[in-house]
Amino acid sequence: MKTTVILIRHGETEWNVLHRFQGLSDIPLNDTGRQQAGFAKNGLQNITLDAIYTSPLQRALETAEIIRGDRRIPVYPTDGLQEMGVGEWEGLLVSEIDEKYPGWYDVWRTAPTKVRLKGGEPFTETQKRAWKTFWEIVKKHEGKTVLIVSHMMCISSILLTIAGIPLDEIWQHPIGNGALNIVEVDGDRKAVITDWSRDDHIPEEFRLKQPFGRPK
C-alpha cells in the first residue's frame, strides 16, 4: 500500500528577497509568492489529495490555502512543520550577521550543524522534529496522498534523511519556492524520493534564482 507525500516550500516573501533571516518571524507572502503558490496549485491539479498539513506561519498557511483552492479537504496547521528558529539572527540581513558575528555566517554555509544560536533551534533538532512529524502524517494517511507545506529547513532535512545525505550538505540541495518534492512510502515504511525541487510547472522568471549566499 503506497503512501505519497508531496512537500512544498512556501512562496516567496520580501524577507527572502532581502536575504533577511526569517526563522519564526511571521512574514506574509509577497505578490511573487502568491503567484508561486498558484503555480503549485496548477502543478497539482490532476492529483487527488486526502489532506494538507502546513506550518502555522502565515507564509506557509497562505500557500496551503491557495493550493487548496476549492478542494473540499482539511488544512491542518502543525507546529512540527514550522521553520527553524534562528534566535539572535532573527530579522537580520546577511550583511548585519557578517558585521555582528564575524565569520559565523561562513560556518553556517559550510558546517551548519556546528552553529548554536542563542534562542534558536539547532539544525539537528529541526531535523528530528521534522522527521518525527513526517512519519506521524504518513501513519495517519496510509495508502493516501497528502500535501505538506513547510519551510526550507524542514523539507530539506526530511529529504536529506531519506537520501542518506549529511545535514551539513543542506545548502548543496536547494528547495525552490513552490517546487514539488515527492516521497513515496511503501507498506514496509521504505521512503523513496521521486522528485526533488521539481519546478517545471513554474515559469522561469518565478523560479529560485540565488538560493543561498550573500546578495550580489
188 located within any domain: yes
| pLDDT value, residue 216 | 40
60 located within any domain: yes
* Spatial separation of the C-alpha atoms in residues 88 and 85, rounded to whole Å: 9
Rg (CA), the chain: 17
95 located within any domain: yes
DSSP string covering 67-135: HHTT----EEE-GGGSPPPBGGGTT-BHHHHHHHSTTHHHHHHH-GGG---TTB--HHHHHHHHHHHHH
**96 marked among binding-site residues:** no
213 located within any domain: no
Asked if residues 170 and 196 have their Cβ atoms less than 8 Å apart, the reply is no
Asked if residues 112 and 173 have their Cβ atoms less than 8 Å apart, the reply is no
Name which of 30, 46, 38, 126 is nearest 87 in CA terms. Answer: 126
Q: What are phi and psi of 177, to 5 degrees?
A: -65, 125
**The Cα angle at residue 28 between residues 199 and 124, in degrees rounded to 5:** 70
Residue span of the structural domain in which 80 resides: 3-206
**14 marked among binding-site residues:** yes
* Spatial separation of the C-alpha atoms in residues 11 and 106, rounded to whole Å: 26
214 located within any domain: no
Collapse the DSSP code of 137 into the 3-class scheme (helix H, G, I; strand E, B; otherwise coil) and give the result.
Answer: helix
**109 marked among binding-site residues:** no
pLDDT tens, per residue, the chain with 216 residues: 899 999 999 999 999 999 999 999 999 999 999 999 999 999 999 999 999 999 999 999 999 999 999 999 999 999 999 999 999 999 999 999 999 999 999 999 999 999 999 999 999 999 999 999 999 999 999 999 999 999 999 999 999 999 999 999 999 999 999 999 999 999 888 999 999 999 999 999 999 865 555 544
| pLDDT value, residue 89 | 98
**16 marked among binding-site residues:** yes
- Which residue is associated with the grid cell 487548496? 68
**207 marked among binding-site residues:** no
Sign of the CA dihedral running 101, 103, 109, 112: negative
Positions annotated as catalytic residues are 10, 83
| pLDDT value, residue 188 | 82
- Which residue is associated with the grid cell 473540499? 72
> For residue 115, what are the CA distances in angstroms to 63, 89, 101, 133, 169?
30, 11, 12, 23, 14
> Which CATH number do you get for residue 166?
3.40.50.1240
Name which of 209, 109, 152 is nearest 23 in CA terms. Answer: 152
| pLDDT value, residue 76 | 99
**59 marked among binding-site residues:** yes
Going by DSSP bridges, is the β-strand pair 145-150/3-9 parallel, antiparallel, or unpaired? parallel
Q: What are phi and psi of 95, to 5 degrees?
A: -60, -35
183 located within any domain: yes
124 located within any domain: yes
pTM of the model: 0.95
Distance of CA 73 to the CA centre of its chain: 21
How many structural domains is the chain composed of? 1
Collapse the DSSP code of 32 into the 3-class scheme (helix H, G, I; strand E, B; otherwise coil) and give the result.
Answer: helix
**108 marked among binding-site residues:** no
84 located within any domain: yes
